[in-house]
Amino acid sequence: MKILVTGGLGFIGSHVVVELQNEGFEVVIIDNLSNSSEKVLDGITAITGKQAIFEKMDLRDKDKVQDFFKRHHDVLGVIHFAASKAVGESVEKPLLYYENNLNTLIYILQELSKKESSHFIFSSSCTVYGQADTLPITESAPIKVAESPYGNTKQIGEEIIKDTCKILNNLNAIALRYFNPIGAHETAKIGELPIGVPQNLVPFITQTGIGLRDQLSVFGDDYPTEDGTCIRDYIHVVDLAKAHVAALKRLIDGKNQTNYEIFNVGTGKGSSVLEVINAFEEVSKQKLNYKIVGRREGDIISAYADTKKANEVLGWRAESSLNDALLSAWNWEKKIRE
């Protein structure tokens, strides 16, 4: 059973490749290496003992996408991660984000529409909810106006898939709206590799802990939360990877109730920025140099998932704690700085 993972050398994609190979799938990776490294392949192979097929390709090249599916006509399913993902950069370069995140999706769906049967897992995001009216956030929560071009590409991407599934009986798709992935594989052979200054909290924490960053900025302590800092749902990347495999198996086994389904993927528990910092200090035995600064534009107050649907329908649930995830992120940080 051959599965294509686009963006498969990225942070989440690489962990999904490991879980797929552990479950006996044959994996083909497409990545343009714009935000990843070919060395990640070595880590994947070291963990699983299996070599994934890798093709360096920019999915914005429609001819190359068509050629790929002609050569790999036996692809059973696609898990689609390939996309630009920095919120701030998307505000500065909206056309790049719309081209990269939407054109590539369209080109892949066009090829899947030609197949007798195809299965598609879309990497979506809780950003589609914005600041939800009620917490925890269920899949039926209203979609808010996007705060950034990045968030908008996730909303539009979901709409494209939903509209395509309406007219194609041969396409079965699941959109996974995940919350905040953190951590690394327990072997410390793969993990998050942010290029330049990290955009996310945990890699900035670990880089500060290791001495790569002088100070961590906490954006605002005057939010209406218990300690005044923003609350998010932090999920271990390995748990998240297993959710993708569960979703794919659901489609392959024909257990989906409609040909387009949506699931939240999170822990169901919100943690504030200061709680994450305190937990990191506990597991790493490192005192973090952090400073409270002004709020950051676009940050919502609180977001955490209602995971009942994923737990009951997908048969999946997050197993790792915040401390587990932070310890794995710290071990990975130490490994790559050796």
Q: Any idea which fold 2-181+235-265 has?
A: Rossmann fold (3.40.50)
pLDDT, residue 133, reads 94
20-42 pLDDT, tens digit per residue, is 999 999 999 999 999 899 999 99
Task: Count Cβ atoms below 10 Å from residue 102 Cβ, excluding itself.
Answer: 16
Query: What percentage of residues in the chain have a pLDDT greater than 90?
Result: 93
Q: E-assigned strands of 117-160?
A: 118-125
Q: Going by C-beta distance under 8 Å and a sequence separation of 6 or more, which residues neighbour residue 106?
A: 160
* Residue recorded with tokens 């959109």: 175
What's the chain's average pLDDT?
Answer: 96
DSSP 110-138: HHHTTSSSEEEEEEEEGGGG-S-SSSSBP
Strand partners for 124: 177
| 269 within 8 A of 304, measured Cβ to Cβ | yes
Strand partners for 234: 180
Residue type, 286: Q
pTM equals 0.97
CA dihedral 236, 238, 240, 243 (to 10 degrees): -140
pLDDT, residue 169, reads 93
pLDDT, residue 224, reads 97
pLDDT, residue 197, reads 87
Strand partners for 4: 28, 78
Instruction: Give the H/E segment covering residue 97.
Output: helix 94-98
Distance CA 296, CA 298 (A): 6
DSSP 186-220: TTSSS-----SS-SSHHHHHHHHHHTSSS-EEEE-
- The C-alpha R_g of the chain, in whole angstroms, comes to 19
DSSP 63-80: HHHHHHHHHTTTEEEEEE
pLDDT, residue 37, reads 94
pLDDT, residue 317, reads 97
List the chain domain ranges. Answer: 2-181+235-265, 201-232+268-333
| CA-wise closest residue to 91 among 161, 153, 148, 8 | 148
Which residues are tagged catalytic? 150
264-293 pLDDT, tens digit per residue, is 999 999 999 999 999 999 999 999 999 999
Distance CA 261, CA 238 (A): 22
Residue 74: half-sphere exposure toward Cβ, Cα within 13 Å: 6
Is the model's pLDDT at 298 over the cut of 80? Answer: no
| CA-wise closest residue to 273 among 228, 323, 239 | 228
293-310 exposure pattern, b = at least 16 Cβ within 10 A, e = fewer: eeeeeeebebbbbbbebb
| Strand duo 271-272 + 231-232: pairing | antiparallel
CATH for 201-232+268-333?
3.90.25.10
| 263 within 8 A of 177, measured Cβ to Cβ | yes
Task: Count Cβ atoms below 10 Å from residue 195 Cβ, excluding itself.
Answer: 11
Is the model's pLDDT at 118 over the cut of 90? Answer: yes
Taking each continuous run of H as one helix and of E as one strand, the counts in the chain are: 12, 13
137-172 exposure pattern, b = at least 16 Cβ within 10 A, e = fewer: bebebeebebbbbbbbbbbbbbebbeebbeebeebb
Is the model's pLDDT at 163 over the cut of 80? Answer: yes
